[in-house]
């Protein structure tokens, strides 16, 4: 049976990782002198509380070729065919590390076939591609069909999220000081998405309710009013805020599956506590 590998930034709910047998390779969070494995050594809620108090953001780094090689070898004990999905190569070196690991694996275990997919996505937009690939594998699909399913979902998936404040984008060097000050005064909620593998600004709102309304409108522009979708909601210590967004989405679309998961800490560093987002793709 084909097996699936991806990285922790996919933010896949733990129960699905176990149920589908997905192999996770951790990103790293560097906090002071500590180097922590994303989503493995870090509790998302505790990390969010730390972010609220720190005046110096942790840094992050992608897995090394050796990290990917370990994950590939673990799967090679169970199968001869692997599909590896990485977050966008335009925002991280994970894809290149994974490709290097595959070359190393080929020298050591030449009978193992590995297909590497640059999803050009992140968070649960990437996660959906891994989930649907793993489901295809479990249903008995071959390597070619599993790869096709992964690519299809990665291509169709969309991420839209809003942060509670511009502070973390500012601290991470994403915006200039003047915009930071204006955002703080006006309580602006930035809305961001991803296009062609790159984070883009989709607008701003003056309140969370207005941000949620805008997110749902953007969803309708993407897939059409009332479309059948699979939906994942992610958050950074903001589970209580998801209900309004969930209800707005459910009123406008036919959601055939709804998942909820914390955003991986390696991503939460850049958006901060209070972040909520939708990750979805149309389905027949």
Handedness of CA 259, 260, 262, 263 (dihedral sign): positive
Contact 18, 4 (CB under 8 A): no
Q: What is the mean pLDDT of the chain?
A: 93
CA dist 38 and 201 (Å) reads 26
pLDDT class of 177 with cuts at 50, 70, 90 = very low
- Cβ-contact 241, 233 below 8 angstroms: no
Residues of the chain within CATH 3.30.1180.10 domain(s) are: 158-282
Indicate if the pLDDT at residue 147 is higher than 50.
yes
Sheet arrangement for strand 158-162: 198-205, 189-195, 158-162, 276-282, 228-235, 254-262
Shortest CA distance to 117 belongs to which of 266, 7, 281?
7
Q: Which residues in the chain are classed under CATH 3.40.50.10440?
A: 3-27+62-155
- Helix, strand or coil for residue 262? strand
* Pairing mode of beta strands 276-282, 158-162: antiparallel
The answer to whether residues 132 and 6 touch, using CB atoms and an 8 Å cutoff, is: no
Alpha carbon distance 57, 268 (integer Å): 11
CB contact at 8 A, 8 and 123:
no
Contact of 113 with 223, CB cutoff 8 Å:
no
State the Cα–Cα distance between residues 125 and 142, nearest whole angstrom. 23
Give the domain 158-282 fold. Hypothetical Protein Tm841; Chain: A;domain 3 (3.30.1180)
Q: Is 174 helix (H, G, I), strand (E, B) or coil?
A: coil
pLDDT of residue 95: 98
Chain segment 187-226, per-residue pLDDT in tens: 788 899 999 999 888 988 989 999 999 999 999 999 999 9
Q: What share of the chain is helix, strand, coil (3-state, %, to 5)?
A: 45, 25, 30
Q: Does domain 3-27+62-155 have CATH number 3.40.50.10440?
A: yes
Q: What is the pLDDT of residues 216-225, one digit of tens each?
A: 999 999 999 9
Mean pLDDT of 14-38: 96
Mean pLDDT of 255-284: 95
| Mean pLDDT, residues 114-142 taken together | 98
In this prediction, residue 32 has a pLDDT band, given cuts at 50, 70 and 90, of confident
Q: What was the pLDDT predicted at 184?
A: 55
Structure-token pair, residue 252: 């406008």
- Please determine, for residue 278, whether its predicted confidence score (pLDDT) is greater than 60: yes
Task: State the Cα–Cα distance between residues 22 and 165, nearest whole angstrom.
Answer: 33
How far lies 73's CA from each of 23, 43, 45, 203, 268, in Å?
A: 10, 27, 32, 43, 29
pLDDT digits 0-9 by tens, 48-96: 999 988 888 899 999 999 999 999 999 999 999 999 999 999 989 999 9
- pTM equals 0.94
pLDDT of residue 181: 47
């Amino acid at each position: 049976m084909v097996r699936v590998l991806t990285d922790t930034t996919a933010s896949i709910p733990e129960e699905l990782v176990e149920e589908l047998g997905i192999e996770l390779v951790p990103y790293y969070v560097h906090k002071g002198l500590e180097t922590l494995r994303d989503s493995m050594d870090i509790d998302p809620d505790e990390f969010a509380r730390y972010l609220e108090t720190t005046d110096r953001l942790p840094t992050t780094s992608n897995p090394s070729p050796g990290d990917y090689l370990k994950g590939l070898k673990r799967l090679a004990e169970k199968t001869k065919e692997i599909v590896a999905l990485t977050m966008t190569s335009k925002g991280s070196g994970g894809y290149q590390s994974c490709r290097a690991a595959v070359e190393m694996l080929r020298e050591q275990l030449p009978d193992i076939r590995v297909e590497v997919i640059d999803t050009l996505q992140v968070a649960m937009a990437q996660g959906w591609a891994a989930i649907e690939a793993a489901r295809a594998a479990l249903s008995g699909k071959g390597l070619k069909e599993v790869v096709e399913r992964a690519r299809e979902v990665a291509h169709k998936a969309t991420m839209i999220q809003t942060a509670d404040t511009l502070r973390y984008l500012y601290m991470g060097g994403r915006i200039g000081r003047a915009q930071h000050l204006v955002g703080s005064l006006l309580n602006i909620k930035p809305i961001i998405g991803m296009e062609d593998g790159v984070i883009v600004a989709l607008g701003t709102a003056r309140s969370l309710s207005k941000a949620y309304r805008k997110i749902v409108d953007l969803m309708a522009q993407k897939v059409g009013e009332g479309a059948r979708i699979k939906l994942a909601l992610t958050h950074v210590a903001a589970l209580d805020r998801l209900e309004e967004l969930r209800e707005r989405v459910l009123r406008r679309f036919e959601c055939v599956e709804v998942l909820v998961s914390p955003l991986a800490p390696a991503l939460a560093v850049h958006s901060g506590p209070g972040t909520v987002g939708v990750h979805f793709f149309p389905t027949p």
